Structure 1
Amino acid sequence: MRRRTFVRTGAAAAGIGVAGCVMPATDDEPDDDLEVDEPENDEQNGGSDDDGTLRIATYSSMVTGETPAGEWLTETFEAQFPDAELEWTVPESGIDHYVQRARLGAEIDADIYLGLPVDGLVLADVEPEVSLFETLDRSKLERESRIRDSIAFDDPDGRIVPFGVGYVAPVYDGETLSAPETLDDLLDERYENALLVQNPRYSTPGRAFLLWTIATYGDDYLEYWEGLLENGLEVHPSWTSAYRDSYLEGVRSMVVSYTTDQVAATVAERDLERHQVATPDGEAYRSVEGMAIFEETEKPDLAYEFLDFVLSREVQGELATRNVQFPAVEQEYVGVEEAFVDYAIEPDEPVTVAYDDIADDLETWIDAWESEIGD
């Protein structure tokens, strides 16, 4: 099988690791940088409009669960901007929801998309006449310089900025399964009726896992997926459905999730034996999550305030804890809980993808997957 090595990057090139990008929170952290001086009038604020409702589209785990990040973000942002209100929306079909609305000329009922990876941006660009996101004015993002260079997006139009990093990998029940040493191992009978995955059309980890298989098997990726299907693969529309509603309920013994899984399991006081992380061939797929502003927003100033707010020290630390993801900023701008440092796993060989590498093919790959596997 032909391997698409052009989408791979080694650990040294990736530059991401627990020791290299996060440190435990301490009592002597620098002063909180969320405080801002209130402008005396609109002219001093550059004509900025910091009131009204800001609509944010995101994925379900951002706003659901026991301690969702979205709820904390709302309370903290509205405390800083008392005249603003955050309104969250979770489109069932992810970024495809807005692609279809743009195709039909329908209103885009959101101002910001929070949780957009580079492959999601590629899906937003499938038709030249459809334009969803604006090119960002970087001069309005005072904290952008904090972002680690190694995770910068290569979007040619500069529409997206990182806010977090995750590594997608199989999570399994160590009481009933052993770790797969390669992706090929998932075709073995010992993993029969074990694996839960997410639909790559709608789910970020599902799309990451698809791209990982393309990186490994090249044009023969569908043959590999057919083998998974024959071995009892179960496909879910979202991470929440696959992980929370099925894996945690004991429906299956393996799920496509993240290498930070044991962090969340430790905080929730779950049995770590059932939260083992596999990195086949030392690999996991690196997914950088970004945020972008919709072109049709009527609250551009408030949208930029929110993007800059997400890059603040306190928010980056809270997102690392609540979303269980690696921060996007350099280590001096964030501290995380000890559980993150102790249990978050960085793969030896991160697999990643560049915008240009998939811009022409991603829609074709997903259509083929839906035709052969999704149905």
Structure 2
Amino acid sequence: MKRRTFVGALGGGTALGLAGCLTRDGDDSDDGDGNGTDGDDGRLTVVTYESMIDGDDPAGPWLKEAFEEEHPDAELEWTQLPDQGITHYVERANAGRSIDADVYLGLNVDDLVTADDGLDGGDGDAGGAGGLFRELDRGAVERADRVRDELEMGDPHGRVLPYDTGYICIVYDETEVDEPETLEGLTEPAYEDALLAQNAQTSAPGQAFLLWTIDAFGEDGFLEYWRELKDNGARVLEDWSESYYGAYMEEERPMVVSYSTDQVYASAEGYDMSRHRVAFPNDQGYANPEGMAIFEDASNVDLAYDFFDFVLSSEAQAEIAQRNVQFPAVGEEHVDLDEEFDEHAHVPPEPVTLGYDDLRGNLEGWVDDWAREFVGR
């Protein structure tokens, strides 16, 4: 599961995402088809979040080794995203500065909206020249048709190709509280001082949970719902690690906003499974697909497409799912997962998500309105 903390461009949008070290000299040329020209050195620079490339057996090192074995003339170079997230790239683009990366791995729809809303002169037509990312030629990715339709992000310019997804849910201790059947139920006395949530400004699951409540209660009702949560003692912490590894695992509270693959992690670590029950209030969970995109002025576009196709291969999809504890983006007929993953990873009966059109022009305002009232600025 993507155990990551964001600041600013949530992967969930605004400042939570990923960002990289950037400084490219010279101009990129075009091959006549708008696809750019591959660099001379065969290097593909991929920006991604920390837990993809560092930590306990992450997917990134495996992806690098396997991709380079399949493409002997290529070198995959990881760049870790800085704290500022997608906003870092937007600021560089607005300043006319180059971006020293080809691919962004880990982009979600919130990040994309944050980029499009933040680019100077943004008018809703963010594709093509002047956008941060280029429109993809899906015909150049043989396995693109494996991606499940429900994971598509609704980008009108077709710039993102999903490679995995997670579902935000409630994880709870069944020895302390009953399973919450509805979101409304979380405001009832039975769950007083029980729930841990995350800051929607700085945490991917925190922002996803906020968007889930907006979907459920509407633009005019979500703040009132959060007031009721607050009155019932819900506690908002800065990020997922602080709320899960800290307060929840220290048994300070019996409920936490987390991921529906939590039991995969808990089983592997030998934890008491009664404290790692997965709840889908209203039979829902918030879907948060992650995708890959190519920067507008990437120097190795053809190699980027090769990488995308490789990431959607059956072997790579299984490794990403099991090492990152996320769900594959491809249909089940294209990937084999171990029995423990199949047993402990849960999909909500009704996945919900807000797409590009819902978020465009609204995301920043929603998060700001929520933050002013519930975390202060």
Q: Same fold (TM over 0.5)?
A: yes
1:279 Cα deviation from its structure 2 partner: 0.7
Aligned ranges 1:185-224 → 2 under 5 Å? 185-218=185-218, 219-224=220-225
User: What is the aligned partner in structure 1 of residue 167 from structure 2?
Assistant: 167
Contact in 2 for aligned 1:94/1:203 (Cα 8 Å):
no
CA RMSD of aligned residues (A): 2.5
The structure-2 alpha-carbon separation of the partners of 1:318 and 1:196, relative to structure 1 and needing over 3 Å to count, comes to same
User: In structure 2, how many angstroms separate the alpha carbons of the residues matched to 1:355 and 1:324?
Assistant: 25
TM-score normalised to the size of structure 2? 0.79
1:313 Cα deviation from its structure 2 partner: 0.8
**Percent sequence identity over matched residues?**
50
Aligned ranges 1:205-284 → 2 under 5 Å? 205-218=205-218, 219-284=220-285
Contact in 1 for aligned 2:38/2:299 (Cα 8 Å):
no
1:50 Cα deviation from its structure 2 partner: 8.1
Deviation string for 1:258-283 (max 9, x for gaps)?
A: 11211221122222111111111211
1:203 aligned partner, one-letter code: S
1:295 aligned partner, one-letter code: E
Deviation string for 1:106-140 (max 9, x for gaps)?
A: 44343322222222211211145362111112222
Contact in 1 for aligned 2:48/2:78 (Cα 8 Å):
no
TM-score normalised to the size of structure 1? 0.79
The structure-2 alpha-carbon separation of the partners of 1:50 and 1:73, relative to structure 1 and needing over 3 Å to count, comes to farther
Contact in 1 for aligned 2:38/2:300 (Cα 8 Å):
no
User: What is the aligned partner in structure 1 of residue 323 from structure 2?
Assistant: 322
User: In structure 2, how many angstroms separate the alpha carbons of the residues matched to 1:84 and 1:317?
Assistant: 22
List alignment gaps of at least 5 residues for structure 2: 1-35, 123-130
SS in 2 for 1:180: coil
Deviation string for 1:233-261 (max 9, x for gaps)?
A: 44344434433344334444322111121
User: What is the aligned partner in structure 2 of residue 31 from structure 1?
Assistant: none
2:327 aligned partner, one-letter code: F
Deviation string for 1:149-168 (max 9, x for gaps)?
A: 23223210010011112211
Contact in 1 for aligned 2:37/2:299 (Cα 8 Å):
no
User: What is the aligned partner in structure 2 of residue 152 from structure 1?
Assistant: 152
1:63 aligned partner, one-letter code: I
User: In structure 2, how many angstroms separate the alpha carbons of the residues matched to 1:195 and 1:71?
Assistant: 36
User: What is the aligned partner in structure 2 of residue 6 from structure 1?
Assistant: none
User: What is the aligned partner in structure 2 of residue 368 from structure 1?
Assistant: 369
SS in 1 for 2:364: helix
List alignment gaps of at least 5 residues for structure 1: 1-45
User: What is the aligned partner in structure 2 of residue 42 from structure 1?
Assistant: none
1:359 Cα deviation from its structure 2 partner: 1.5
Aligned ranges 1:305-344 → 2 under 5 Å? 305-344=306-345
2:142 aligned partner, one-letter code: E
User: In structure 1, how many angstroms separate the alpha carbons of the residues matched to 2:234 and 2:198?
Assistant: 10
User: What is the aligned partner in structure 1 of residue 105 from structure 2?
Assistant: 114
Deviates further, 54-63 or 138-147:
54-63
Aligned pair 1:81/2:81, yes or no? no
Contact in 2 for aligned 1:57/1:91 (Cα 8 Å):
no
The structure-2 alpha-carbon separation of the partners of 1:343 and 1:100, relative to structure 1 and needing over 3 Å to count, comes to same
User: In structure 2, how many angstroms separate the alpha carbons of the residues matched to 1:194 and 1:91?
Assistant: 33
